[in-house]
Amino acid sequence: MLFDTSEIVETIRMVQQQGLDVRTITLGVNVADCAADDVATLAARIHDKVCRVAEKLVPAAEEIEDRFGVPIVNKRVAVSAIAQVSQSAQGEDLAPVALAMDRAASEIGIDFIGGYSAYVQKGITPGDRRLLGSLPAALSTTERVCGSVQVASTKAGINVDAVRWMGELMKQMADATADRDGIACAKLVVFCNIPEDNPFMAGAVHGPGEGEAVVNVGISGPGVVRAAVEAAPDISLIDLAELIKRTAFKITRVGELVGREAAQRLGASFGIVDLSLAPTPAAGDSVANVLEAMGVDQCGGHGSIAALAMLNDAVKKGGAMATSSTGGLSGAFIPVSEDAGMVAALAAGTLTLERLQAMMSVCSVGLDMIALPGDTPASMLSAIIADAMAIGVINHKTTATRLIPVPGKGPGDSVQFGGLLGAAPIMAVGKVGAERLLARGGRVPPPLGSLGN
């Protein structure tokens, strides 16, 4: 027998019934060589380079999809952090660069282009300042542009001046897109310890040490893991960890294959596979449901953190063996609006902001796609961000926030972003904050644990 029938059937089942897919192929493109003396030229150069380098991304992905029979849901591009690339370009307004990125994305047929980003964990240069100031305009007048700002790192601590400003910017961004439920905020991620090669949006950016053109793959498969766990309700935790590990291996292998193929077809290097379990709003594609299959009564209830810690770790272990190079975030995602199980848990009152904050310390991302009341003050947003950054700094991990204060809505209301961004009930935020703490400004210095040498 030249093949194993049961293996073939298992693979078919994963794809056709359990929602196994490649969540994204993201082409990282270096645009540092597009630097120019003025913003208009910079914008044009970035547009032209992205169109040239990523021209074949969509056709190549479609061909791979056709040949391998695994859906590749998204094709995306991430460019070098624009705040770095644009420092020498004269001009008061940087938004033309965002518009150029948006046009390029539309021309090559991708849905998101990341990299409208800045690194300000230690200080804010004039170039950084210009980019940050342009965020409300840039993210409200474009469809496909995503941005990210690193305000903290384990080595640098937390730039509280930047954190305060981010809270204010988010309010401005929400107001600028008040007619669309503040959607500009859904395209910005605030980071601690940002990965250089994360293929997922909105935080994807082509990191400073990367090469010219790199293919990074984000796989997914919460449905596959859930099905495996559901089929084994009585096994011990150690056997369950092993089962999840093996399942994660298989899922990640698909990412490895697709990444190698894509890199070859595009003449780019193969970067990493990000083996994150990333949910979508579709039924059965929920990370919350995986926790519930593991045995937590509802995601957000007591026991959720232990279950998530185990899940995240088992996914990493299985995935690590499956690929030549892991990277990105690689763990379990908990984006609230994009996970039907999370939305249900929120509506039932089982999942709270406080629980998510705790879960963030044991899994990949952070407070992701969280819809908040529109009247949440900027300083409250900043305090929430500061808390998330502190968890990342102390624990040497990536944490991030993607908070959306929805203008005109409050707890009990719900917001529909549509598509992959999903829909979510507005979460209640406490009234007690730390305005005086933040008003001190300056930086939280890096922790003792950062002295690793």
Partner 1 sequence: MSKTRAIVTVIGEDGVGIVAKVATALAESGANIEDISQTLMQDLFTMIMLVSLDESVADFTAVKERLRAVGEELGMKIDLQQEDVFRFMHRV
CB of 252 to partner 1, least distance (A): 9
List Cα–Cα distances, 185 to 35, 172, 208, 410, in angstroms.
27, 9, 25, 16
Q: Is 11 in the site for partner 1 (CB under 8 A)?
A: yes
Closest distance of CB 25 from partner 1, Å: 15
Residue 404 is classified by DSSP as E
Place of tokens 């697709």: 258
What's the min distance (Å) between Cβ of 260 and partner 1?
A: 9
Closer to partner 1 at the Cβ: 67 or 431? 67
Residue 69 or 408 having the CB closest to partner 1:
69
Q: Which of 401, 364, 375, 54 is nearest to 206 (CA)?
A: 54
101 near 83, Cβ under 8 Å?
no
Bin 349: left if φ > 0, else alpha if -120 < ψ < 50, else beta. Answer: left
* Nearest of 313, 427, 320 to residue 369 by alpha carbon: 427
Binding mask 234-273 for partner 1 (x = CB under 8 A): ----------------x--xx-xx----------------
Comparing CB distances to partner 1, the nearer of 232 and 437 is 232
Q: How far is the CB of 67 from partner 1 (least distance, A)?
A: 5
User: Among 172, 214, 173, 180, which residue's Cα sits nearest to residue 195?
Assistant: 214
Minimum gap (Å) between residue 183 Cβ and partner 1 = 36
The stretch near partner 1 (CB under 8 A) out of 6-14, 74-82, 162-170, 366-374 is 6-14
| Residue 231 near partner 1 by CB under 8 A | no
Q: Which of 58, 68, 109, 212 binds partner 1 (CB under 8 A)?
A: 68
Scanning 284-400, the segments in alpha helix (DSSP H) are 287-294, 304-322, 340-347, 353-359, 378-395
Classify 256 as helix, strand or coil. Answer: helix
- Does 453 participate in binding partner 1 (rule CB under 8 A)? no
Rounded to whole angstroms, what are the CA distances from 446 to 4, 115, 122, 367, 434?
54, 26, 10, 22, 20
Euclidean distance between CA atoms 315 and 279, whole angstroms: 14
Only segment of 4-12, 173-181, 225-233, 401-409 that touches partner 1 (CB under 8 A): 4-12
Calpha distance 145→142 (Å, rounded): 6
164 vs 250 by CB, closer to partner 1 = 250
Of 64-72, 162-170, 178-186, 309-317: span binding partner 1 (CB under 8 A): 64-72
Angle, CA of 442, 444 and 449, to the nearest 5°: 155
Among 32, 235, 237, 321, binds partner 1 (CB under 8 A): 321
Stretch that binds partner 1, among 35-43, 67-75, 200-208, 378-386 (CB under 8 A): 67-75
Residue closer to partner 1 by CB (options 110, 254) is 254
Question: Smallest distance, Å, CB 266 to partner 1?
Answer: 18
Residues near partner 1, by CB under 8 A: 1-13, 66-70, 250, 253-254, 256-257, 321
